[in-house]
Amino acid sequence: MVEKDDNVVFVGKKSIMGYVLAVVTQFNSGANSVIVKARGRVISKAVDVEEIVRNRFLPDVKLDNVALKTEELTSEDGSKSKVSAIEITLKR
């Protein structure tokens, strides 16, 4: 993947507002697009982040694309499991 990592926000276990701040900061630093990524149960948190960024902080930012996919994870013991993932692309 040729992708500038600084334009990607991975949503995980931290608070929603922490990720909102990360996205807003990237746009305010001049980014034209930011991709919000999440896997598994925190997919819903990624949607919260996107909605709060656009409705409360950056109304000029548009929802450019939403990709849904399945990723395969390999755990430490070598067993594999599948997990759903989302990639939300926001564009100014």
3-state secondary structure labels for all residues of the chain: CCCCHHHEEECCCCCHHHHHHHHHHHHHCCCCEEEEEEEHHHHHHHHHHHHHHHHHHCCCCEEEEEEEEEEEEECCCCCEEEEEEEEEEEEC
Residue of the chain from 28, 66, 73, 81 that contacts its own copies (CB under 8 A) = 66
Shortest distance (Å) from residue 85 CB to its own copies: 8
40 contributes a contact to its own copies by CB under 8 A: yes
- Tokens, residue 83: 């997990």
69 contributes a contact to its own copies by CB under 8 A: yes
Shortest distance (Å) from residue 26 CB to its own copies: 19
50 contributes a contact to its own copies by CB under 8 A: yes
20 contributes a contact to its own copies by CB under 8 A: no
Total binding residues toward its own copies, as defined by CB under 8 A: 19
**In this complex, which beta carbon is closest to its own copies, that of residue 4 or of residue 80?**
80
